[in-house]
A and B are shown apart, each in its own frame.
Chain A
Amino acid sequence: MTKKEETTKTTYQLPIGPIHPALKEPVMFEFEIDGERIVDADVILGDIHRAIEWAGMRRNPIQIIYLAERICGICSISHPIAFIRAVENACDIGSPERAEYLRVIQAELERICSHMLWAGVAAHEIGFDSVLFLTWQMREKALDLTEYLTGNRITKGVMTIGGIRRDITKDQIPKINETLNYFKDNFEKLRHVFLDDKTFQLRSQGVGILTKEDALKLCAVGPTTRASGIKKDVRVDQPYFAYGDLDIDYITPDILTGEVNGDVYDRIIVRLLEVKQSIGLIEQCIDKMPEGDLVSEPKIPKLLAQIKKTKAEGIGRHEAPRGECVHYVKFNGDSEHPYTWKVRASTYANILPWIPMLKGEQIADIPIVAASTDPCMSCTNRVAIVDNDNHKKYELDKEQLHQLSVEKTRRLMR
């Protein structure tokens, strides 16, 4: 009697990236595929390192604000905010109350722009391009308002150490209200398209699930973690600027649906609700904003002299549209250039959650699941190691990397 022969089933590997038509930015995925189903996923970063921190260490903090703006075009207020908070923290600089409110207005306006942009991209990723144009048509109004208030559409250049560079005058308020009302009037339209439409529901419900446990374990941040039901938001947890005076709470999907699934659909809900929340916050700021100065130290050379004398380190945190963004600076007391500048962009914390989200999904869902954390690769890349002799990339193993980190920390502690 012969033993029945067994069929050996194998999986195959599917690399996507670093440059791929479906990806907006260079990142490398390696998938283990069984048929159409993803068995395992891996993410490889480091293809778009721009040495921004290194460049920053050769500039003074006023110059770095504009460099920080260029870490990410969409978070061009969030990175400067985190950076100036770090510098203010290190050098003990305060800012006038009016500036605190104006900073909140700018930050929330950026959140509206960013979430609208994301909603359009999400629609595009599931192949629903008419919705992309609908959302971006609305986003245009937010960009027009940004241009009206700051003079630029994308890199706003309004933040400064110890205050803000542009005021919002009384005659600018009608235009702000007009734009906010436009958003409020059209919000229902947007909600209806994104949440009631059959196409969206089929592509996003039950797809790319991140459980609450995984989100906690992997330290996800921003809307990604809130969509999994975790109440985490720097604006509420440790209020800064004027956020402490405003009526603000965590946005989780159960506010609207009564349940938390942690899928792509929930992430859409969270972002849409946050657009609404941001509109409310801007309105509150306009109502409550006191009169007063814009900057605590109008003389920039004096400010730089103060920074030059400082020997301290500081940390700045801000809830960017994608989640918490952290900057660290250290001044040595002998130069106005920071001795170190370290950036932890929000996407960095949202990379690992991709893996549980993608496991078990179909190949066709990769774009929408990957896009659902609103990733921003350029902000995230920190290290690229190139062997100068044979121009090859090489990797460091865990021990070497740990050793290098220990050495760097010691150097900084000196």
Chain B
Amino acid sequence: MRFSMILPVFKQMFKKPWTNKFPAKYQPSSTTKFLTDVEAGKAKLILPIETPEGFRGKITYDKEACIGCNLCIKVCPCGAIEAKPKEKKIKIYLSRCCFCSQCNDICPKDCLKMSNEFLLADTDPYSKDLIVE
């Protein structure tokens, strides 16, 4: 066929769109209000696509196990980790983190892990959600 795309394009018109319409079919004008509506049972949330195993999301930190060796600071490419010398603990600024998980690999006590939480957008880079300590 000379014009090979005509058929696929017509077929596509009758197919269900591939896009997962997260969080709702139409973008709500206020996400915060939409979320309160969802909690009150007034609106329905379309769930995001599931993350695969081994996904690199928000870092979790087991503060008790940390010995303050600061090795994670040495390898972090983004300078996202800060030492707290008095307590011998660390503080991670997620807004600077590039999710390479190198800190997870080097930690001798295995106290850093990557969760599958990925909804980290925030207007304030120093908000409570974006600082792990």
Contact = CB atoms under 8 A, between A and B. Distances in A.
Interface string A44-73: 000000000000000110111111000000
A165 B105 contact: yes
A146 to B, nearest CB: 10
Contacts of A134: 5, 8
B5 A130 contact: yes
A67 B77 contact: yes
B106 A148 contact: no
A61 to B, nearest CB: 10
A66 B101 CA distance: 11
Chain B contact residues: helix, strand, loop or mixed: loop
A166 interface: yes
A157 B8 contact: no
A148 B101 contact: no
A196 B101 contact: no
A152 B2 contact: no
B111 interface: no
A223 B56 CA distance: 33
The number of chain A residues touching the other chain, given as a range, is 20 to 34
A300 interface: yes
B132 to A, nearest CB: 18
A157 B56 contact: yes
A197 interface: yes
Contact of B74 (A60, A65, A155): A60
A151 interface: yes
Residue in B4, B55, B98, B101 with the greatest tally of chain A CB atoms within 10 Å: B4
Contacts of B76: 63
A152 B56 CA distance: 7
Nearest to A64: B77
A59 B77 contact: yes
A192 interface: yes
Contacts, number: 68
Given A134-B5, A197-B5, A300-B105, A148 B56 contact: no
Nearest to A149: B54
B46 interface: no
The number of chain B residues touching the other chain, given as a range, is 20 to 34
A60 B78 CA distance: 12
Contact of A66 (B3, B5, B102, B106): B102
Given A130-B5, A147-B55, A197-B2, A157 B105 contact: no
B47 to A, nearest CB: 17
A53 B48 CA distance: 38
Interface string A124-164: 00001011001001000000000110111001010000000
Residue in A62, A65, A128, A197 with the greatest tally of chain B CB atoms within 10 Å: A62
Interface of B: 1-5, 8-9, 18, 52, 54-56, 71, 74-78, 98-102, 105-106, 114
Interface of A: 59-60, 62-67, 128, 130-131, 134, 137, 147-148, 150-152, 155, 157, 165-166, 192-193, 196-199, 300-301, 304
20 contacts: A62-B102, A63-B77, A64-B77, A66-B78, A130-B8, A131-B5, A148-B52, A148-B54, A151-B55, A152-B99, A155-B98, A157-B56, A157-B100, A192-B4, A193-B4, A196-B1, A197-B4, A198-B2, A300-B75, A301-B106
